[in-house]
Structure 1
Amino acid sequence: MYQSQFPPTGFPTYNQGRGPFTEASSSSGGSNAGGTALGDPQFDIFDWHPAYQSCQRYFLDHAQHGEAVQAVAALVNICLPHQWTSTPVMSSTGPTPHSSGPGAYNLPWPRPNPVTNARGQPAPVWVSLVPYIRRLVITGMDRSGIMHGFFGDDWRKGVGPMWECERRNYLFAAKSVGWAKVKYQYDMSPHESVPFLKPLQEVHLVEIEAAEKTWSQWLAMEDWMVGPRAPDAEEGREGATRRES
């Protein structure tokens, strides 16, 4: 069992040196994979994926066993993989059980047990980090120190694009429906319901403007204004017509 560097007394703070809830300087410092958002044409999936795997390993092997991460998970009411009542995941290595936890990837058919790679070695466990990112975002706990404590030094490059996407999704959910339906969408199960919702924290103007642009694109999609009918395409054709005349 890994021991947390964070003092066990009191609620986590964010200025404890190199504790688990402090931002660390790293090679990924402050920027996401390739400097682009998830889904952008310039997003390099092959550059991003190793960093995401690093975040998975850190979360499973270290973070989930620390007192600070366990305290936050308890506060926001989400089970960590090692707390799943059915086939708990203790680390990123070893045989892969057919997991039924909220972040587990369940195939519709039985998998061989144990799962091995081409060399006959046990394959690493795959656990999605998205449910944990989502829960931190909607409860206002997605500060850089906490994100670093959950996902390690590579968090900005590995889970940063997903984090930005989930923050935008949260804005969209709030704009689409009322509070009760937003909460319902984020409740994972009766036992892991969302205890509270907070407005998006530490929002910057550039983030709002990017969300507005994407929201406008979605509204255009609702009106079938896509492809040759997309607003940008219409403006381009009108500009070309004016130049020709």
Structure 2
Amino acid sequence: MAFSSSSSEDNFGSSSRSLRDARFTGINSPSESSSHGKGPEPQFDIISWYPRHQSCQRYFIDHAQHEPLVQTFAAFVNILLPFQRQPNPVFSTTGSRSGKARLDREGPSRVSSSEAAAAASAVSLIPYIRRLVVTGMDVPQVLHGFFGDDWRAGIGPQREAERRNYLFAAKSGGWASVKRDYDIPPLETVPFMRPLFDPTDGEIEAAERSWSEWLALEDWMVGSRAPETD
């Protein structure tokens, strides 16, 4: 079979990809376990992560946003789903549903698959992760409903980063300041805020370390001036 070929060209192509991808694999993970002061920090493989993230994006656009329960949650936390955003709604990654609600003077017009794919690829999941975090609704069952089976690998690192950002926002400013940071003007304001959902000791400790690093940066205590750590 073609997939089992071991030609020199295939080997060369594989080696080239490995060399190319190696530039991006030495990235520290944003997860809570990224720095515990014991041994080297684990590495975040961005090459392996991205297809999982794309899977979450496709699931959210093609399936989740069309589910009544997800629409209910989105309405409750006051954030528009991609298909609700005007004047350029995104119904799917293929264009198969986009034509249903797109009308012009000549009647229904269909979005090409390439146009739909381009529009879908521009849909960021971060605003939805942030809204679930700030309202205390970033629970596993909700994240699974929004982003599908790959949510832990696909948006898990971003969720952890946003949970830490929420802790930082709470520490650096008052309630009104935090709310302004999480509002999406003019209409998608945060209806309510809750303390971080079910934080772990490791998560809080990692946030404390990162906060200390940030304070050191404010005082230019970086590089050779960085304070020593145990």
- 2:126 is equivalent to residue 130 of structure 1: yes
Secondary structure at 2:212 match in 1? helix
Percent identity over paired residues = 59
Equivalent position amino acid for 1:201 in 2? F
CA–CA separation in structure 1 for the residues paired with 2:149 and 2:224: 43
Q: Which residue of 1 aligns with 2:224?
A: 228
**TM-score of the aligned structures, taking structure 2 as reference length:** 0.73
Cα-Cα RMSD: 2.7
Secondary structure at 1:201 match in 2? coil
Superposition map of 1:1-245 within 5 A: 36-37=29-30, 42-94=43-95, 116=114, 123=118, 125-126=120-121, 127-232=123-228
CA–CA separation in structure 2 for the residues paired with 1:123 and 1:94: 10
**TM-score of the aligned structures, taking structure 1 as reference length:** 0.69
Equivalent position amino acid for 1:75 in 2? F
Structure 1, unaligned runs of 5 or more: 1-33, 98-112, 237-245
CA–CA separation in structure 1 for the residues paired with 2:177 and 2:118: 39
Deviations 1:124-163 (A, max 9, x none): 7211000000000000000000000000000000000000
Deviations 1:200-223 (A, max 9, x none): 011110100000000000000000
Offset at residue 167 of structure 1 (A) = 0.2
Offset at residue 85 of structure 1 (A) = 2.2
Deviations 1:151-203 (A, max 9, x none): 00000000000000000000000000000010001111121000000010111
Structure 2, unaligned runs of 5 or more: 1-26, 35-40, 99-110
Offset at residue 93 of structure 1 (A) = 1.9
Equivalent position amino acid for 1:160 in 2? G
Aligned length, in residue pairs:
182
Deviations 1:68-123 (A, max 9, x none): 1001000000000011121100011239x9xxxxxxxxxxxxxxx96849xxx965
Q: Is the 8 A contact 2:93 2:117 kept in 1?
A: no
